[in-house]
Structure 1
Amino acid sequence: MPQLEVDGALLTYDDQGPRDGDGVPLVFIHGWTADRHRWDHQMEHFSVERRVIRLDLRGHGESGGAGSRTIAEPARDVVTLLDHLKVDRCVLIGHSMGGMIAQTIALDHPDRVERLVLVNSIGRMTYSRGRGLLMAVSTRVPFKLFVAANIQRAFAPGHPREEIRQYIRASAATPREVVMTCYSAMRAFDVLDRVGEIEVPTLLVHGYHDIQLPVQQMLRLAKAYPDAEVRIIDAGHELPVEKPAELTRTLDRFLTSKG
């Protein structure tokens, strides 16, 4: 379990697979209140033939540090890790907040990104009526209730309740300060008017039942990309753990396609 100190935060990461494997390394970035194990299925599959890197963002999982007040902060952490690992170019794959981080890196360091994959992510936060109400009361309800409400909504109808409870417990273990500052960072995130600058092949994968970041918002983002492929999967917001095998197959097809 290697770690790297970045600006006072000890970041935990995994770096697996052959260094001389096919293609540039894959870099997986998890979402809000999650950790690097959201990508277990993809890690196991892809690290057989190519280098795969994933990390716990600061304050999440097994990484230390305070919460990030802007999406640019964890983006800098990821770039620092890539510098440390001597990775000059990669495929960035981000889920939800991780997709926001990936887009930020692609805009700030276009020479470092060969392809881009956004899983249940968007370019500008817009809110449904229900989401807006939840945000309005978020600071007035107990922290664990706030986290539980968000994670419960993240899964498609019919997902096993015990598994949802496990993810609620894991998310609630994330320090409150980290959860709330990252939540504010996501609310302020907006690159919708800039993503036309991202010219690398891009895949947008979204859960049809996502009510956290509805599919219509992703489609608006897809229209802004000059070279975007869209895939809709029968899942909610937590696509990497709801339909891990289907997501892996979708990534496989995109990574092996000519772009």
Structure 2
Amino acid sequence: MGHDDVTRLHGMHVVRDGPRQAPPLVLIHGSGFSGASWHPVVPALAGRHHVVRIDLPGHGRSSPAPSYDVPEQAGRLAAVLDDLGLGPVTAVGHSSGGYIATALAERRPDLVGSLALISSGPSPDALLSQPAALRVLTAPPLGPLLWRIRSDAMLRRGVTAVCTRPVNVPDDLVAEARAIGYRTFRTVLCRNTAYIAERSLPERLTALDVPVLVIFGAGDPRWDPSSAHRYEAVPKARVEHLPDVGHLPMLEAPETTGRLLLEFTAAGR
């Protein structure tokens, strides 16, 4: 798929698709992933939106950062959006990308008109025991060693381990997953947990008072799918449960995910 524009701002890799005059939609990937994780849904979204994908610090083609605290990552994202002259945007976050999106709205309410969270766990107690393929790759004592020697096949298994449907893992995603170092990945996970331990996502969203779409796979193996009901207490929130879908709705059910996002943005205009 060709892109309208690829650039680098504040050390972050930025890819833009769709007409510049269209409403801006910012796609924020989860931990260990990159902007390539959104490939299957971009064509549909770019038909109606100026779609912006950013590799977070230390991920994909972006430079490492001195801190991976969620609010500081949101600040870096805000600087990119300011340089692009964008706002207010619809910020869409997958998994921990939902924390960055939420923190962006907290830090810069002028930049965020609405939020969409996909597979974003509400609080640490909703985290499930992780699939073996991920535990072995990320936990000591074997984690650091396996991280250095991980093959493409191992990386693909890591992605498919959190899916309930067969998926086509984009080659770009596999290649860019190699970019994140073991220590960076562990630090990112730690800082993400600290953010939702300090205050749960539903509490933060309630305080923000912006339209929210929550998409959760009913078969998510990373987060307890029933925890998605906690978002129903958030004013202006709409919660969508996807049957037979795991942690990666963008890859497992791209048509449904794209349709829900387009319906959500259209309703806000």
Please give the TM-score of this superposition, normalised by the length of structure 2: 0.81
Structure 1: stretches of 5+ with no match in the other structure? none
Look up the match of 1:184: 190
TM-superposed CA distance for 1:107, in Å, is 1.9
Which stretch of structure 1 is more off in the superposition, 38-47 or 86-95?
38-47
Tell me which of 229, 235, 257 is aligned to 1:247.
Answer: 257
SS class of match (1:231) = strand
Does the aligned pair in 2 maintain the 1:58–1:64 contact within 8 Å? yes
TM-superposed CA distance for 1:123, in Å, is 3.1
Q: Which amino acid aligns with 1:63?
A: S
Look up the match of 1:204: 214
Look up the match of 1:115: 114
Using the alignment, how far apart are the partners of 2:57 and 2:215 within structure 1? 25
Using the alignment, how far apart are the partners of 2:55 and 2:265 within structure 1? 24
Q: Which amino acid aligns with 2:35?
A: R
Q: Which amino acid aligns with 2:237?
A: A
Look up the match of 2:95: 96
The alignment status of 1:159 with 2:160, answered yes or no, reads no
Tell me which of 2, 11, 15 is aligned to 2:7.
Answer: 2
TM-superposed CA distance for 1:122, in Å, is 2.6
Per-residue CA deviations over 1:143-169 (Å, capped at 9, x if unaligned) read 36579686453111x525x84999677
TM-superposed CA distance for 1:181, in Å, is 0.9
Which stretch of structure 1 is more off in the superposition, 98-107 or 34-43?
34-43
Tell me which of 225, 231, 239 is aligned to 2:240.
Answer: 231
Structure 2: stretches of 5+ with no match in the other structure? 1-5
Using the alignment, how far apart are the partners of 2:186 and 2:85 within structure 1? 33
| Closer, same or farther: CA 163–54 of 1 in aligned 2, 3 Å | closer
Using the alignment, how far apart are the partners of 2:82 and 2:26 within structure 1? 13
Using the alignment, how far apart are the partners of 1:67 and 1:250 within structure 2? 36
| Closer, same or farther: CA 201–127 of 1 in aligned 2, 3 Å | closer
Look up the match of 2:15: 14
Look up the match of 1:78: 77
| Closer, same or farther: CA 16–86 of 1 in aligned 2, 3 Å | same
Does the aligned pair in 1 maintain the 2:90–2:114 contact within 8 Å? yes
Using the alignment, how far apart are the partners of 1:167 and 1:88 within structure 2? 28
Count the aligned residue pairs: 249
Please give the TM-score of this superposition, normalised by the length of structure 1: 0.84
Does the aligned pair in 1 maintain the 2:169–2:251 contact within 8 Å? no
Does the aligned pair in 1 maintain the 2:89–2:114 contact within 8 Å? yes
Using the alignment, how far apart are the partners of 1:28 and 1:144 within structure 2? 32
SS class of match (1:53) = strand
TM-superposed CA distance for 1:45, in Å, is 1.8
SS class of match (2:140) = helix
| Closer, same or farther: CA 144–229 of 1 in aligned 2, 3 Å | farther
Percent of matched pairs sharing the same residue: 25
Per-residue CA deviations over 1:40-81 (Å, capped at 9, x if unaligned) read 233222223331111111111111114743111211111010
Does the aligned pair in 2 maintain the 1:100–1:122 contact within 8 Å? no
Using the alignment, how far apart are the partners of 2:9 and 2:219 within structure 1? 37
Q: Which amino acid aligns with 2:124?
A: M
TM-superposed CA distance for 1:172, in Å, is 4.6
Using the alignment, how far apart are the partners of 2:229 and 2:114 within structure 1? 19
Using the alignment, how far apart are the partners of 2:262 and 2:185 within structure 1? 32
Taking only aligned residues, the RMSD between alpha carbons, in angstroms, comes to 2.8
| Closer, same or farther: CA 170–81 of 1 in aligned 2, 3 Å | closer
Look up the match of 1:56: 55
Using the alignment, how far apart are the partners of 2:50 and 2:67 within structure 1? 28
